[in-house]
Amino acid sequence: MRTLNSLKNIIGNFANNIVLNLLRFISRIIFVKVLSDVYLGVNGLLSNVLGILALAELGVGTAISYSLYKPLADGNTEECKSLMKFYKIAYRVIALVVLILGLILLPFLPWFIKDTSGIENLNIIYLIFLANMVIGYLFSYKRTLITADQKNYKITPILILSNVFMTVFQIVILLVFKNYILYLLVQTLFVFIENFAVNRYITKEYPYLREINGAKSLDKGELKEIKTNIKALMFHKIGNYVLTATDNLVISKFIGIVTVGIYSNYVMIHSAVSSFIYTFVSNVTASFGNLIAEGNKEKRFKVFKEMDFITYCLYGVSTVCLLFTFNPFVEFVFGGKFVLPFAVVLLIMINYYLVGINQVPITVQSAAGVYKYDRYVPIIEAVLNLTLSIILVQFMGISGILLGTLISYCLPLIIKPFIVFKYVLFKNISLYFKAFLKQFLTLMLSGLIVFLILNFIHVDVLLQVIINFIISLVIPTIIIIIVYNKTEEFNSAKGRFIYLFNKMRKRV
């Protein structure tokens, strides 16, 4: 059931991601053609500026999600009601805090931008972004329950319909009115509609949610555990924000808002690819939490190795694919002025791979709730990242910012697996790093072979996109099969896919 529920969630999220990313991509092309480069940069920048306010969430959602695994597995609705009551109150407080902090931040907006000329109604644009965020916090708390219960796939049709209608309306607004503010207001409207519809459906699925206001409060022991996890997660939230969201801020401050827009095209594309892969990883978090509760340590380690290998295959192949397809694709779709140097793209993709390959240890840490052991590491990482990025941008431009991010990420890349192996899997950490080194060297070999082949192929840009994609997809796949076909993790993953395929075929 864990496997089948995970599969249903993965299929549902895949469907949602396909629709969402396709429409987002079409919308981005029209956005670039209709509005100026400046607004593309503003769009990317304000998303990251408001990420500062997201730190007010403090990891409450993750902590509650972990606390829900056991009562959901035991069918303890009273415990679920108490947790959701606490969650509801907490998120209302967070929404209010985010609103107040957002309004306080408003006068400081020009500080984040090197040159504000050409940006009209910046304050109004920012307030619309803020409204979207506050609405999300007011309505989204119920989603944690259905996610922890591994039934997220049930709300996928609502998400798909909402995204389709929102994007279609936004495209019409761009084509007819060419107005960025109206474009954003459509998003606000659909953020509200989607959250309202999802909440109604979840309440129907879990009728006891109507009774949470009268539920008993959490006892002191439960509150203490949640608060301990929140304190640890607070540092993780800060570190993750600085790692993932400050690049645009530094680019905007020291290079310019237009460069933020150019860089954001690359981020949009690799984020779309990553969203499909992360769907697999994130949807097994609840399953792994349930597996940990069973207490079978050997099975944990076997599943971990399988997850790690599958994630490596997906992130490894997509890294090589994107590295060699990015620039011809961006040139063909958006134009030559939106293309970044290959050295910059290489740094983008190294960061993409390292962040991606570390998702399995992060997922297992989240499922096990062992947040406290590395709670100060994200702060060190954040300071290191910001410091190095600001120093290196003076000498290397955007490459310096990405290099600063890369260097700082070495900390969680080492420490996350160490914690998981010591406190969750109870295995020697050398097993992980040997596997990591083998994976990295295999990937480097794949990338080198693809580079040497493509170095001799020079054709028209569209044909170059197609050729680069095919070669950079096929070569790494073949090499991974050759290197790993006799390993336990390869055959375990292969067996699971065959099992799931047969199950789905029988049901069809």
Give the pLDDT confidence score for residue 504 in this predicted structure.
61
- Exposure string for 379-411, b = 16+ CB within 10 A, e = fewer: ebbbebbbebbbebbeebbbbbbbbbbbebbeb
Q: How many CB atoms lie within 10 A of CB 267?
A: 18
The two structure tokens encoding residue 1: 């059931």
What pLDDT is attached to residue 290? 65
Helix 37-49 / helix 257-282 crossing angle, nearest 10 deg:
50
According to the model, what pLDDT value does residue 7 have? 65
Question: What confidence score (pLDDT) does residue 499 get?
Answer: 72
Rounded to 10 degrees, what is the CA torsion of 251, 255, 260, 262? -130
Instruction: At 392, list the tokens.
Output: 């290196």
Does residue 291 belong to any structural domain of this protein? no
What is the structure's pLDDT at 490?
87
pLDDT of residue 73: 76
pLDDT of residue 500: 65
In a domain, 455, yes or no: no
Burial class (CB in 10 A: 0-12, 13-18, 19+), 495: exposed
- 17: in domain: yes
| Residue 164 within any structural domain of the chain | yes
Residue 418 maps to a domain: no
Domain count, the chain: 1
* 18-49 residues labelled b (16+ CB within 10 A) or e (exposed): ebbbebbbebbeebbebbebbbbbbbbbbbbb
Tokens of 175: 């084509």
Cβ burial of 502 (10 Å; 0-12, 13-18, 19+) is exposed
d(CA 226, CA 244): 26
Classify residue 242: in a domain, yes or no. Answer: no
What token pair was written down for 196? 């309202």
The answer as to whether 424 is a domain residue is no
CA 293 to CA 284: how far, in whole Å?
14
Is 67 part of a structural domain of the chain? yes
What is the spatial distance between Cα 408 and Cα 404, in angstroms, rounded to a whole number?
6
For the chain of 508 residues, list the mean pLDDT of each consecutive stretch of 10: 62 75 86 83 81 69 76 84 86 88 88 75 90 85 80 84 90 91 93 91 89 83 77 72 76 87 89 81 63 73 87 94 95 90 95 91 81 81 89 94 92 91 90 94 96 92 95 96 90 77 64
Residue 153 lies in domain? 1-218
